[in-house]
Amino acid sequence: MERLLCGVDIGGTKLSAALFRSNGTMVAKETTKEHVGKEPGEVLRVIAGLVRGLLDSESLGLGDIEGVGVGITGHVLGREGLIITTSNFKIPFLRYPFVEKLGALLPGTRVLLDNDANVQALGESMYGAGRGYGSMVFITVSTGVGAGIVLGGKLLRGHNGTAGEIGHTVIDMRSTHKCTCGNYGCAMALSSGLFLPELYAEKLRAGMSSRIDIDEKDVGSMCGELLAQGVSCGDLISIEIMNDSADVIGTLAFNVFQFLDPDLVVLGGGLLNLGDAYVKRIRSRFLDLSKDMMLEEMEIKTSELGADSGLLGAASLLRE
């Protein structure tokens, strides 16, 4: 029988594992929150337990899987199996030999690791919108902006493991918007979920009025869902923020074209729930900038893997 692929997605609040056939079909999935607030060693035991439980539930053993692929938010050195930092959430992995340690808990099992944007990119390239394309850049617009670069079926990881961190490229040098990285004018600081409260507050301060009863006091609650509501009920601030974000992501897609000239850009992440108007404006900004510079137009598609892209992406590391 064909061996299955196991994918693990470690998030700040949710830890999931799933089994897939090599064609990408999901066989089984388990989710837990047991890892929250635990020390690294305990988190690893939770992961190993989750994987073993998942196999048990299908009457399978470690010998029935090709290995375990893991995706995690943070700075990861995939080739070395090392987590450098996971500052974006609260599990204190720091220069942590993740692959070695998890491997010890799952003897004889191949363990692979990469960051969440990279694994989503790889998954999308193998099983989603990127199938059949030679080169693809996956851009996720979510809490932050991340990306993964797939060239000839392989992830471009870079010297420090940080290739594709294009959310932190500077596209507005003189911006007053400060990013979490400490710089100003990063694409991420001008377009992503984390900065929606600040972007909304700025419009309020400029004298615009909210149609969804958000004022400076409760602007902290502004998020992708609320922005989508604002857009749908004609709140001008929400519409402007959506358009500004789309212009930034469209400009970023243009910079991707100038840097890498890939066959395809795939857009994913929660802010795409803003819908067609958002994606249409991203494409239109991209085309305005690229004009006649392309011999053949770079395609911009949206993610096809949806909610389980992190799990399938992690599993796809085993097939890279």
Q: Shortest approach of a copy of itself to residue 190 CB, angstroms?
A: 8
Which long-range CB contacts under 8 A does 219-228 form with residues at least 24 apart?
A: 221/197, 222/196, 222/197, 223/193, 223/196, 224/193, 224/196, 224/270, 224/271, 224/273, 224/274, 225/273, 226/196, 227/196, 227/274, 228/273, 228/274, 228/275
Q: Which is nearer to a copy of itself, 157 or 281 (CB)?
A: 157
Q: Shortest approach of a copy of itself to residue 240 CB, angstroms?
A: 15
Q: Shortest approach of a copy of itself to residue 312 CB, angstroms?
A: 25
Q: Which is nearer to a copy of itself, 35 or 285 (CB)?
A: 285
**Site residues (vs a copy of itself, CB under 8 A):** 75, 77, 84, 134-135, 149, 151, 156-166, 168-174, 181-183, 247-248, 251, 254-255, 257-263, 289, 291, 293-296, 298
Pair 219, 213: CB distance under 8 Å: no
Q: Which is nearer to a copy of itself, 19 or 72 (CB)?
A: 72
Q: Which is nearer to a copy of itself, 46 or 151 (CB)?
A: 151
**248/190 Cα distance (integer angstroms):** 7
CA 91, 97, 99, 101 dihedral sign is negative
Q: Shortest approach of a copy of itself to residue 260 CB, angstroms?
A: 5
Q: Which is nearer to a copy of itself, 149 or 214 (CB)?
A: 149
Q: Shortest approach of a copy of itself to residue 144 CB, angstroms?
A: 13
Q: Shortest approach of a copy of itself to residue 301 CB, angstroms?
A: 15
Q: Which is nearer to a copy of itself, 160 or 221 (CB)?
A: 160
CB atoms within 10 A of CB 46: 17
Q: Which is nearer to a copy of itself, 152 or 306 (CB)?
A: 152
Q: Shortest approach of a copy of itself to residue 166 CB, angstroms?
A: 6
Pair 147, 159: CB distance under 8 Å: no
Q: In the 8-state DSSP scheme, what is residue 265?
A: E
**80/154 Cα distance (integer angstroms):** 16
What are the tokens at 105? 């808990």
Pair 160, 214: CB distance under 8 Å: no
Helix, coil or strand: residue 29: strand
Pair 148, 120: CB distance under 8 Å: yes
Helix (H) or strand (E) holding 224: helix 224-232
Q: Which is nearer to a copy of itself, 210 or 251 (CB)?
A: 251
What are the tokens at 159? 């010297």
Q: Shortest approach of a copy of itself to residue 261 CB, angstroms?
A: 2
